[in-house]
Structure 1
Amino acid sequence: MLKYFFIRLLSAIPVLFLVILITFILVRLAPGGPFDQERAAPPAVLANLNKQYHLDDPVVVQFKDYLVNLLRGDFGPSFKYPTRTVTEIILTGLPPTLELGLYALLFAMFVGISTGVMAGLKPNSAQDYIPMTIAMIGICLPSFVLGPLLILGFGIGLEWFPVSGWGDSPGDKVLPAITLGAAYAAYIARLTRGGMLDVMSQDYIRTARAKGLSPARIVGLHALRGALAPVVAFAGPAAAGLLSGSFVVETIYQIPGLGRFYLQAAFNRDYTMILGTTIFFATLIILFNFISDVIQAWINPKLRQSLSK
């Protein structure tokens, strides 16, 4: 187990390096620059700005200097907000993004697991067809379509929830969390249903029934642990996707999160901000995938035995 985890941690180093290299090259190849404005600045001013931020150095030298500063924990200053560093901006936008991702993940897990269990217990019935049809609609409906629909229906029409902002009121979190977590809830529901269908046909479930255990005890103590194995494997990428995929939702609901800063950085050609947030999101994705592997190995005895060999 320790050897497996150590190898997984080491494999993250080349992955992060490739992410940094590809992002660094792509932002340089994109048309425009960080100091382009609607009204062009004088050439002398642009030359001084490029010299101040070392953008007049060769690209190889710029990449080497960025890696050296990155190893020191320095993401550099923001080109759009020169008085603030990229680290300060990330720390400012991170709490709303983490909070939104947490609520969306809780919504997706609760709705997806409960719906999948109900559908898996009675396959090929109305209890199966109806929630799985809704789950398929949830998979096909992107967040930039679902968000405005929820705003029109529950925000403007029924006036149940606010349509923008991120304050202390619990109502501010409902529509964004549903918008972000709906697609993942649909995936989790289908994975849970498949896991339940596989587990409920196993011999140990039939043995538990023969012993006279109640259906709730069979599902809760015996079936659910095995049925959730694919959900746990999906939970790591899902958690990372919820955090890194909140750009559209934060823009729709005017949430001052990290995704909104990242989107603005792309429009402003803010090189350091794009690189810093990309590295941060990539690190989160690797971390959540690692945690998912650890939990999956913990709940799956066969996987633990294969890793110990």
Structure 2
Amino acid sequence: MGRYLLKRLALAIPVLLAVVTITFFMVRLAPGGPFDMERNVPAEVTANLNAQYNLDAPLWRQYVDYLGDLARGDFGPSFRYASRSVNEMIGAGFPITLELGLYAILFALLVGMPAGILASLRPNSAQDYVPMSAAMIGICLPSFVLGPMLILVFGIWLGWLPVSGWGINPGDKVLPAITLGSTYAAYIARITRGGMLDILSQDFIRTARAKGLSTWRIVRVHALRGGVAPVVSFLGPALAGLLAGSFVVETIFQIPGLGRFYIQAAFNRDYTMILGTTVFLSALIILFNLLADVVLVWLNPQLRKNL
């Protein structure tokens, strides 16, 4: 297992380098610059700003300097927020984004797994068709449509829940978590159904039924561990997708997370903020995928022979 982890971590280095390289040159080649929005700024001031942020150096020199700073864990200063570094802004916004992602994945698991299990117990019946049809609707309904619908119904018409902000009130978390987690709940429901159907068709399950064990005991003791293995494999990309997908939800519900900083950086051509957030999220995606693989190996010892 130790060699497997070291191998995966070693493979992550060229992946991150590719992400940094592609993002660096894409944002530099895009039209506009970080100081183009300034009005009535003399040319001397613009030149001083470019010199301060190393933008007057050749592009290859900027790239090499950025890699050197990145190797020390320094994402650099923000071009649009002169008194703050990218590290500080990520540190301020990421805990909120992570909290939102955790609420969303918890909602997805609590809704998706029971729905998939129930559907697998009676395939091709109403108990199967109803949750799977709802799951298909959840997959097809994007968050930028579902979010405003939830705001309209539960925030404006019924007045039950807040529609913006992120404070100590638990109600602030409900609508954003549902909006972000609904699509993943639908995927988890369908994945759980497929995994459970595969396990429930095995010989050892028929033996357990022949012994007179109840359906829920068979599910809980014999089938669940193998049936949820595909869900565990899905959780790594899902967590990464939740963090990236939260950008839209944070904008809809006015949540001061990392997503809003990233969107503002894109509009403001804040090169270092775009790069820092992209690299940070890419590293998290790699980490989540690695953790999902480790848990999957723990659930299925047979996989350890292939490491």
Question: Deviating runs (4+, > 3 A) in structure 1?
Answer: none
* Mapped partners of 2:152, 2:8: distance in 1: 45
- Displacement, 1:60? 0.7
Q: For 1:12-67, what per-residue CA distance to the aligned partner results, in whole angstroms no more than 9, with x for missing partners? A: 00000000000101100111000011635222211111111110101111011111
Counterpart-to-counterpart distance in 2, 1:192 and 1:112: 8
Aligned twin of 2:107? 107
* Whole-angstrom CA distance in 1 between matches of 2:129 and 2:41: 62
What is the distance in 2 between the residues matched to 1:212 and 1:80?
Answer: 68
Select between 21-30 and 35-44 the one with higher mean Cα deviation. Answer: 35-44
Corresponding residue of 1:62: 62
Whole-angstrom CA distance in 1 between matches of 2:241 and 2:37 = 33
Distance 2:42 2:221 in 1: 71
Residue aligned with 1:246, SS: helix
**Aligned counterparts of 1:169 and 1:29: Cα–Cα separation in 2:** 43
Letter in 1 for 2:246: S
TM-score, reference length from structure 1: 0.98
Aligned position for 1:135:
135
1:147 alignment partner in structure 2: 147
Q: 2-side partners of 1:74 and 1:149: how far apart?
A: 41
Q: Out of 183-192 and 39-48, give the one that drifted further.
A: 39-48
Shift of 1:117: 0.3
Distance 1:163 1:109 in 2: 24
The worse-fitting range, judged by mean Cα deviation, of 253-262 and 202-211 is 202-211
2:167 counterpart residue number = 167
CA offsets 1:168-215 (integer angstroms, 9 cap, x no match): 111100000000000000000000000111110001111111222221
1:188 and 2:188 aligned: yes
| TM-score computed with the length of structure 2 as normaliser | 0.98
Amino acid at match of 2:234: F
Distance 1:43 1:127 in 2: 70
* Cα separation, 2, equivalents of 1:73 and 1:15: 17
Q: Counterpart in 2 of 1:249? A: 249
> What is the alpha-carbon distance in structure 2 between the residues aligned to residue 193 and residue 208 of structure 1?
20
Aligned to 1:76: 76
Which blocks of at least 5 consecutive residues in structure 2 are unaligned?
none
Structure 1: gaps (5+ residues): none
> How many equivalent residue pairs?
307
Computed over aligned residues only, the root mean square deviation of the Cα atoms, in angstroms, reads 0.9
2: CA distance, partners of 1:305 / 1:113: 29
Q: Which residue of 2 aligns with 1:225?
A: 225
Deviation at 1:306, TM superposition (A): 2.0
C-alpha distance in 2 between matches for 1:288 and 1:54: 34
Letter in 1 for 2:176: P
Aligned mates of 2:211, 2:125 — CA distance in 1: 27
Correspondence list, 1:36-47, <5 A:
36-37=36-37, 39-47=39-47
Alignment deviations for residues 113-144 of structure 1 (CA, whole Å, 9 cap, x no partner): 01000001110011110110110010011000
1:298 matches 2:301:
no
In 1, Cα distance between equivalents of 2:152 and 2:241: 26
Between the aligned partners of 1:143 and 1:245, the Cα distance in structure 2 is 8
Pair 1:283 & 2:286 matched: no
Kindly provide the amino acid, as one letter, of the partner of residue 13 in structure 1: I
- C-alpha distance in 1 between matches for 2:80 and 2:189: 42
What is the alpha-carbon distance in structure 2 between the residues aligned to residue 148 and residue 161 of structure 1? 13
Question: How far, CA to CA, are the matches of 1:252 and 1:277 in structure 2?
Answer: 20
For residues 226 and 11 of structure 1, what CA distance do their matches in structure 2 show?
A: 29
Aligned to 1:261: 261
> Aligned partner of 2:33: which letter?
G
Deviations 1:218-273 (A, max 9, x none): 10111111111110000000011111221110000000000110010000000000
